[in-house]
Amino acid sequence: MSMAIRLPAEWEEQDGILLAWPHEASDWAPLLPEVRRVYVELINAITRFEAVLLAAPAPDEARSWLQQAGAPLERVRIIPAATDDTWTRDCGPVTVMVNNQPVLLDFGFNGWGLKFPAQHDNQLTRCLKAQAALKPRVNTIGLILEGGSIESDGNGTILTTSQCLLSPNRNPQLDQDELTGALQSLLGARLVHWLEHGHLAGDDTDAHIDTLARLCPNDTIVYAACDTPDDEHYQPLKRMEQELGALRTLTGQPYRLLPLPWPRPCHDGDGRRLPATYANFLVINGAVLVPTYGQPTDNGALAMIGLAFPGREIIGINCLPLLEQHGSLHCITMQLPRGVLP
């Protein structure tokens, strides 16, 4: 009997969100208080709608910090787990529905193509499962794949980038056709859109799709659009925009395209550009959490994402500190669909 496999869309019903607590041994050490305040704001927003599963190397310390900050601990389950860092989007479980039942896929995580240590993060899903924090069975997959590199509409369409999935330090033994076949067999993909253009300066992920373009309900794509001709991103994102305009749905229709505002450049203390993007939003039950950066363009981004998700509350989260480690809101979260939490 053949199995019906489907990768749910992010806007489908969820049990909760997986986070990993920032700790002293992570790259967050120089700005730990600022980043933890972002996490508290995020946890406060998520727990209005659903639960939080929090992996922490020192659970008591994390609980104490959250308690002092006034976080609703009754909606947070803290699990002891060693982590290298906090990017659960890329090392956490990818949930597929197999014959309408959730199954957790534990893909290999090698620090975005061998750039950073990942020995603990690569074991996070199995660690959580061993402590009964996750209910479905876990299938360990012999493929390097990060959650931020794929977008799903829940109906068999996957959006991704060639720069990331074809990186020579991820799955060098596979070409594009073979990787398409893997997405079909593992995620139930019926249509895979490969974007050839688009990147963000300061991005360590090799152009994760969740920093560039996001699939939304009703055949809509929200995407990063640069309207500043002298910006280094202008031409690559224009070419990406043209690619998106040429895409067609499974039924042969063009997508509704919604361009996001382009934030002013953000730089670290050494003058290096940081990958600020409004595309890195998180959809939860009844709401969308959108990264903001203290810029005039923040309100426009909230409004545009509101057009893509009518009926949901649109909530801005100040993510400026997260840019210091080259990520944003979606990167530090992983949704856990209905049926994943015990």
127-155: per-residue pLDDT in tens? 999 999 999 999 999 999 999 999 999 99
CA–CA distance, 211 with 197 (Å, rounded to integer): 13
Q: Which domain holds residue 73?
A: 5-337
Beta bridge partners of 103: 96
**In-domain check, residue 342:** no
The mean pLDDT of 169-198, rounded to a whole number, is 98
- Grade residue 291 by pLDDT with cuts at 50, 70 and 90: very high
CATH number at residue 140: 3.75.10.10
Q: What is the pLDDT of residue 185?
A: 97
Question: Does residue 231 belong to any structural domain of this protein?
Answer: yes
Longest dimension (CA), the chain: 58
Containing 61, the helix (H) or strand (E) segment is: helix 59-68
What confidence tier does 1 reach under pLDDT thresholds 50, 70, 90? very low
- Whether 278 has a pLDDT exceeding 90, the answer reads yes
In a domain, 117, yes or no: yes
* Residue 80 DSSP class: E
CA distance 35 to 323: 10
pLDDT tier for residue 2 given thresholds of 50, 70 and 90: low
Q: Are strands 273-274 and 220-224 parallel, antiparallel or unpaired?
A: unpaired
Cα distance between residue 11 and residue 338, in whole Å? 11
- Decide if 320 is inside a domain: yes
Total domains present in the chain: 1
Q: pLDDT category, 3, cuts 50, 70, 90?
A: confident
CA distance 304 to 205: 25
202 — pLDDT class (breaks 50, 70, 90):
very high
Burial 10-35 (b: 16+ CB within 10 A, else e): bbbebbbbbbbbbbeebbbeeeeeeb
pTM of the predicted protein model = 0.97
| Region 94-117 average pLDDT | 97
Separation CA 342–CA 136 (nearest Å): 9
Q: Is residue 166 part of a domain?
A: yes
> Beta 157-161 vs 151-152: how paired, if at all?
antiparallel
**Mean pLDDT to the nearest integer, 269-293:** 97
Name the strands in the sheet holding 5-6, side by side, starting at the edge strand that comes first in the sequence.
5-6, 94-98, 101-108, 138-144
The whole-chain average pLDDT of the chain stands at: 97
Q: How far apart, in Å, are the Cα atoms of 61 and each of 67, 124, 153, 229?
A: 10, 19, 38, 48
The H or E element that residue 259 is part of is: strand 256-260
Q: Which residue has the tokens 């079909």?
A: 184
Q: How far is 198 from 110, CA to CA, in rounded Å?
A: 23
